[in-house]
Amino acid sequence: MNKIFETPLYPYRRAPEQDEERIMRHKVVVVGAGPIGLAAAIDLAQNDIPVLVIDDNDKVSFGSRAICFAKRPLEILDRLGAGDAMVEKGVEWEFGRVFFGEREVYRFNLLPEAGHKRPAFINLQQYYFEEFLVRRLRELEAEGRPVEIRGKNKLAAIGAHEDHVTLEIDTPEGPYNLEAEWLIAADGAGSPTRRMMGLDFVGKVFEDNFLIADVIMQADFPTERWFWFDPPFNRGQSALLHKQPDNVWRIDFQLGWDIDREHELKPENIDRRLRAMLGEDIRYELEWSSIYTFQCRRMETFRKGRVIFAGDSAHQVSPFGARGANSGLQDTDNLIWKLRLVIEGKAPESLLDSYDFERILAADENILNSTRSTDFITPKSEISRILRDAVLDLSAEHEFARPLVNSGRLSVPAIYDGSPLNTADALDGPAISRPGAPCPDAPLGEGFLLDRLGDRFILLTIDAEAPDEIEEDGIAVTRLALSVRDDTTGALKRRYLADEPSAVYLIRPDQHVAARRPSWNENLFRAAIRRATGKE
């Protein structure tokens, strides 16, 4: 077996700094080459902002880990030039089954809304996800974009200064020093950066252990998400079965808090659980198994001067709902355009405060959702178990009880209501595209709306006039002119106009709405641009 996660993808090479006395100052250093660090680096490199990624390893992550990627992150990956590879390899799914005790209580369809380029979800092993991002990063490197990745470069010490950060880095050939104007810490839940800086990571809400087994088997189970509450093969706990590419099946067994890790990880004990779950006669190969624990918590602020935290280093949630990697990708999506404008001198450093506001809002929403899921899955008192069981019992016969069943509320993007970058809503339009919301996709002839937005400020006009280009204090804004006449499916009207005859939207580089009005008004839109870039 020679899996991708066993092959070095960015092997250690001696860096120029290791042979020089002079300490080099880099524009941006990203710590951690996981999904979030790689996405941040690609976003910066695409915009010609020099970026160096360091990672203490030289391979993609071991084992499948994050496996479920939602629509919004896939749209972000499209912007980063890596969406197609993920969706082609990934497994799409839309059905699920819920089991309670010995029986199946119901089957559901996610019923994804039509008229979006990307599916509601794909399942894809994290090692593929990282491999495709590394491949994209290499493509950019080959194009001459300013990006570099250094394996076996481990952050050993950090010094935070007002306008830069100093780093000491350990390598197989000894330590060296470098400096960064900006540091993005995407080094995971155990973030060494956070620890070395002595920063808090509070709000522990829930603790549990999960045994994950990735098994390769030729099974005729359908491509569905199967979730068990209190199954006979894992009494009092939950279990999950989900398909990944290459006939790899992900099986999660919840174990509870007080467990004997060594005992649980013994192959014969995993085998016993698998056979009780899937049948005595199954044939499988165990690809990977692991026990992980999680907590629900976040940092008080995601930015400390020139050090910015993104992904699990900033916030951690339970796995229910796939809100970890998916929200981390939205962190960098939110951060990078702001950092780019600050580095280019087009926006004040205070624009980065909105990263804190917007992504803390999202983190709190994710923590709330995943806490509610864990409260349902693992009732903490006798009465909460009685109520939970009543919901599940009723759900078999009665449709009304099914929305109460909570085996994870799957990741959806946060709407940045109340963000300092929003201009008050001036259109009587649909709520889903109000200021702060991510732009909903819509079919446009052969293509899709989001592909036309890209990563710059856009004035989207629907049957309204506006200049083709405007510039406000260094921020260039390009118009995208659309009409309901080209809206063959009606999705554009439903998602952006409702009953209004026309609209002008100011859209941020991360494809979130900043402002909207029924028609063009130069003064008001110039003010909206200033507001969206932290200047008002």
Partner 1 sequence: MPDMTDLILTPNLDDADGFYAALLAAHEGLSKEESDAFNARLILILANHIGDNSVLEKAIGTAKKGK
Binding site for partner 1 (CB under 8 A): 383, 386-387, 389-391, 393-394, 398, 400-401, 404
Output 91 or 387, the one with its CB closest to partner 1: 387
In 344-415, which residue ranges form alpha helices assigned H by DSSP? 353-377, 382-397
Q: CA 35, CA 66: separation in Å to the nearest integer?
A: 9
Helix or strand or coil: residue 298? strand
Output 307 or 392, the one with its CB closest to partner 1: 392
Output 402 or 494, the one with its CB closest to partner 1: 402
Beta-bridge partner residues of 176: 169
Output 327 or 395, the one with its CB closest to partner 1: 395
Angle between helices 71-79 and 35-46 (to 10 degrees): 40
- The 10 Å CB-count burial string (b at 16+, else e) for 382-394 is eeeeeebeebbeb
The tokens for 149 are 């990745």
Nearest approach, Cβ of 405 to partner 1 (angstroms)?
11
Q: Of 324, 311, 297, 353, whose CA–CA distance to 535 is shortest?
A: 353
Output 23 or 386, the one with its CB closest to partner 1: 386
The answer to whether the CB of 502 falls within 8 A of the CB of 484 is no
Output 379 or 408, the one with its CB closest to partner 1: 379
In 90-225, which residue ranges form alpha helices assigned H by DSSP? 126-142, 192-196
Q: How far is CA 254 from CA 237, 280, 444, in A?
A: 6, 21, 44
Nearest approach, Cβ of 394 to partner 1 (angstroms)?
6
Q: Of 51, 130, 157, 155, whose CA–CA distance to 328 is shortest?
A: 130
Q: CA 428, CA 426: separation in Å to the nearest integer?
A: 7
The tokens for 254 are 């919840």
Q: CA 515, CA 298: separation in Å to the nearest integer?
A: 29
Q: CA 391, CA 375: separation in Å to the nearest integer?
A: 13
Nearest approach, Cβ of 102 to partner 1 (angstroms)?
17
Give residues with Cβ within 8 angstroms of 508, minimum separation 6.
337, 421, 457, 514, 532
Nearest approach, Cβ of 376 to partner 1 (angstroms)?
13
Nearest approach, Cβ of 401 to partner 1 (angstroms)?
6
The answer to whether the CB of 331 falls within 8 A of the CB of 32 is no
Nearest approach, Cβ of 235 to partner 1 (angstroms)?
17
Output 196 or 394, the one with its CB closest to partner 1: 394
Output 78 or 230, the one with its CB closest to partner 1: 230
The answer to whether the CB of 108 falls within 8 A of the CB of 402 is yes
Output 397 or 468, the one with its CB closest to partner 1: 397
Nearest approach, Cβ of 391 to partner 1 (angstroms)?
6
The tokens for 64 are 């499948």
Nearest approach, Cβ of 404 to partner 1 (angstroms)?
7
Residue 418 burial by CB count (10 A; 0-12/13-18/19+): exposed, middle or buried? exposed
Pairing mode of beta strands 238-244, 503-507: unpaired
Nearest approach, Cβ of 106 to partner 1 (angstroms)?
15
The amino acid present at 84, given as its one-letter code, is D
In 34-124, which residue ranges form alpha helices assigned H by DSSP? 35-46, 71-79, 83-89
Nearest approach, Cβ of 389 to partner 1 (angstroms)?
7
Output 315 or 409, the one with its CB closest to partner 1: 409
Nearest approach, Cβ of 218 to partner 1 (angstroms)?
41
Nearest approach, Cβ of 395 to partner 1 (angstroms)?
10
Output 350 or 384, the one with its CB closest to partner 1: 384
Output 202 or 383, the one with its CB closest to partner 1: 383
The answer to whether the CB of 134 falls within 8 A of the CB of 140 is no
